[in-house]
Amino acid sequence: MDFLHTVASLIVTLGILVTIHEWGHFWVARRCGVKVLRFSVGFGKALWSRRGKDGTEYVVAAIPLGGYVKMLDEREGEVPEALKAQAFNRKSVYQRFAIVAAGPLVNLIFAVIAYWAMFLSGVSTVAPIIGGVDPASIAARAGVPVSAEIVSIDGRDTRSWQEVNLALAAHVGESKQLDLGVKTSASAEPRNYVLSLENWHVDLENESPLAAVGISPYRPVVKPQFARVVDGGSASLAGIRAGDLVVAVDGQPVQEWAAFVEIIKASAGKPLSFLVLRDGRELDIVVTPASHRRDDGVTVGLIGAEVQLPEWPQEMQRELRYGPIDAVAEAVGKTWSMITLTLDSIWKMIEGVISVKNLSGPITIAKVAGASAASGLEDFISFLAYLSISLGVLNLLPIPVLDGGHLVYYLVEMVTGKPVSERVQVMGFKIGAAILFSLMSLALINDFMRL
């Protein structure tokens, strides 16, 4: 079921984004008088098709990893004399530029609309309160205090942990001093702490920028209390119920869920004596964790129970909500921040500052899509907006095969007054295809390495 949910989430996610992208090309092409022969979401064999009154064939194909808009073009086949005026190649260079640019631009516009809807309805988050500082870290050397709120980074306001991480990510690979605005409950005004990023190394594949500076977020204590007990599991068979709180295991006090889980994992097949608090009464219950062999060959214990997650303190809960006009400004600002971060990350990857191991392919996208869909509509829309920005930015890169490569050709044509030669375009296509194939292969390898 998890696999099917992940696959379905991938198909829905890519289906939405591809449809939006291709609709941009389609809509502008029609406005420029170009005849569209086919609008396809997906590649390969058609699973569904319908011919519209406009003569366009609308298709949903079997491979949901892209799509295309096929336009009438004399370079791709014989065109009747009566339809030549509707051929893509007969249009002015400015019209062709607009048609090609429309796809990625619509992806960016979609992100603005998605963020606008989120800010209008309200975005739930928690205040970025510092829970701990690593004694040997950059933050510790700067004297950053615990239990304080991060209110700005280098002058950029931070209202959530996501904004903190994004602001820090923008400075990965830099050797500079960074101002961290921090506010404590005892002070009315924030105080700046200077983080020295000299020799700051971040392994983005395994840690967040926040962890790399030595700061860990505040988290409420998660007690070893059960929210749900799986029927037929070791806990259920032993008599454990939802709501039970484990006070001790084999006579040793247990206060946090993480420590309790480690005990269970290390006790496969071994009877454990739980001291449980239920409705104000203490009960002794013996539970024998079942043995489970993981993919890495290690055998761990499982009891079949889910933790009761604590509620965040009311004063730490935030809801970012704006009116229709202010939400537009916030959405545009958020989209622009994500565009610049994407471009900056690509450049740093070229420089070698960020490892190419951070490239992700369809498997990672599927997993994140599934997780965000399971987390709720807000998370899924946020992920859609982020992926739409990535798709728009990547398609605008000046690589032949991508939209950006064609736009470069049209810019040259605008300057010189004549189209780029067919020979140059063919050579560019081969180079671009090789680059794209290499990047896709690397992304897939990274995906499989993460499994």
Token pair for 155 = 């002058």
User: Stretch 355-381: mean pLDDT, rounded?
Assistant: 68
% the chain with pLDDT above 70: 94
Residues 6+ apart with CB under 8 A from 89: 73, 74, 75
Res 152: pLDDT: 93
Domains by residue range for the chain, with CATH: 94-122+323-361+374-451 (no CATH), 125-220+311-320 (2.30.42.10), 226-307 (2.30.42.10)
Highest-confidence range of 48-52, 184-188, 343-347, by mean pLDDT? Answer: 48-52
- Cα separation, 134 vs 216, in Å, equals 8
Confidence at 273, pLDDT banded by 50, 70, 90: very high
| Among 15-24, 166-175, 211-220, 332-341, the least confident range | 166-175
pLDDT tens figures, 219-240: 888 999 999 999 999 999 999 9
Tell whether the model's pLDDT for residue 364 goes beyond 90: no
User: Stretch 267-279: mean pLDDT, rounded?
Assistant: 94
Characterise 239 by phi-psi region: left (phi > 0), alpha (psi -120 to 50), beta (else): left
% the chain with pLDDT above 90: 56
Q: Which residues are catalytic?
A: 22
| Among 262-276, 366-380, 383-397, the least confident range | 366-380
User: Stretch 140-144: mean pLDDT, rounded?
Assistant: 93
Residue located via tokens 């073009």: 73
Q: How far is residue 45 from each of residues 49, 63, 70, 190, 402, measured CA to CA in Å? A: 10, 8, 15, 60, 23
- Cα separation, 306 vs 310, in Å, equals 13
User: Stretch 102-112: mean pLDDT, rounded?
Assistant: 96
Tell whether the model's pLDDT for residue 361 goes beyond 70: no
Q: Which of 79, 56, 83, 84 is nearest to 68 (CA)?
A: 56
- Cα separation, 54 vs 97, in Å, equals 23
- Cα separation, 327 vs 274, in Å, equals 52
Question: Rounded mean pLDDT of the chain?
Answer: 88
Q: How far apart are the first and last CA of the chain?
A: 18
Res 187: pLDDT: 74
Residues 6+ apart with CB under 8 A from 425: 400, 409
User: Stretch 300-326: mean pLDDT, rounded?
Assistant: 89
Is 191 within 8 Å of 183 (Cβ atoms)?
Answer: yes
- Cα separation, 170 vs 296, in Å, equals 35
Res 1: pLDDT: 57
Higher-confidence residue of 240 and 208: namely 240
User: Stretch 316-328: mean pLDDT, rounded?
Assistant: 91
